Chain A
């Protein structure tokens, strides 16, 4: 099954950037009301212009959410706030190679939801 291809499973089983950031610039907690899954995202910005210096997430979530968080956090390292704002739903969905159904798309977008809320808040 495409949704569970090796690369996705690898991210889910051994996620990158799992943990905490000591002094985060942004942080946010997101939840998927359908399943009660949760995602906490923390980002520390540094430098001029400020870029993502450190990013980490903690989650209690399904394979798709965790894999998405692992890939998203990896992707956004070094981005400015303006670049972060440009990461789109389409980008995230594309990492799953068009294999997501509508309901599972919600799972994949949970980390992005956390990122957007963090930036907005």
Chain B
């Protein structure tokens, strides 16, 4: 009996209303989960219920609605802390998403603790969101940006050696690559980084909905992720930080909500997480994210990982049999998340995506916000199929048929 029998995709699919719609007259096959996942009714319902019954601003009112809204908003913080194994809900900062979380670290932590000549170590496989904020900071503070190279097989090349040699102040990298799918060895890299006194930030955008994530076990210092890639709504995300680091970091944006006392010339600020949450937060999305965490927990992250690994194995086998098809990144599913970027010889990924769309299959095509990685792979663009636990082997069959159809239409 396979391990994934603990997860019934057909049953879970019934929780996602959008999976029942048709696209160009064909059943939707949604393989663009790395861009954003679909939302279960439980999440959609949590958002409507909040607006229909408890809508109020948080942390301010004395009235009942404000109390309820605050309880729901703070309740999500507690759920998130538990979900990723944080020591304390105060270590969960709600941001607009992964991008804002990384910018927050660059501005606040980087602005405070980095000085001219310091090194930030990134990797060649980063999403632009874990690259451009550091370019801004490096220009502002005259820092060195260094990059861990990527092997032809899609793994980081001697990352420990790079950390020991370059002695960076910060090491920041993706937990799971959004193109290669590579699951990077966070624990090992963090250990080495801490040996040289570096702080470690992990971009978990492609990991949290696909693998069990426990920040205490990973050992890193900061971990960023987005709600909308984990069955939650757009508009929010999380920066987790170890309490002692958050304590020393200055506020990010200034405004209401984050202050203790304000006079005309100066202000004092609340403690973390509030000093990082200026202005009215995305209350409904945060409540929706709490419902998404409940949902993921009820399915079980171990079950999700096992099922997606099985799905990935199947996709590998089927795609590898397609003549002219190249899959980028590690060639075994144990080392990767559910992201499969590929190209078919003679077909531009945009053309492939257009034909697949006509068949109801949604894939991403382009450089997936990872231009430097595509330059390294010596390609302009790739097609990317990315999976979630509600995808099935039958759907992978539809993808393969679509690729064959594209070859026929484009006369390859």
Contact = CB atoms under 8 A, between A and B. Distances in A.
B327 interface: no
B380 A35 contact: yes
Contacts of B194: none
A35 B351 contact: no
* Interface of B (DSSP majority class): helix
Contacts of A38: 380
A103 B366 CA distance: 11
B355 A1 contact: yes
B411 A107 contact: no
Interface string B105-130: 00000000000000000000000000
Interface in A80-95: none
Size class of the B contact interface (CB-based, 8 Å): 10 to 19
B141 interface: no
A36 interface: yes
A99 to B, nearest CB: 9
Interface in A1-44: 1, 3-4, 9, 13, 34-38
A101 B350 CA distance: 12
Nearest to A6: B411
A9 B365 CA distance: 20
B348 interface: yes
A111 B366 CA distance: 18
Contacts of B410: 4, 9, 63
A9 B411 contact: yes
A105 to B, nearest CB: 12
Nearest to B367: A36
A35 B366 contact: yes
Interface string A41-52: 000000000000
Contacts of B278: none
A36 B380 contact: yes
B367 A104 contact: no
Contacts of B411: 9, 13
A2 to B, nearest CB: 10
Interface of A: 1, 3-4, 9, 13, 34-38, 60-64, 101, 103-104, 107
7 contacts: A1-B358, A4-B409, A35-B380, A36-B366, A60-B380, A104-B350, A104-B354
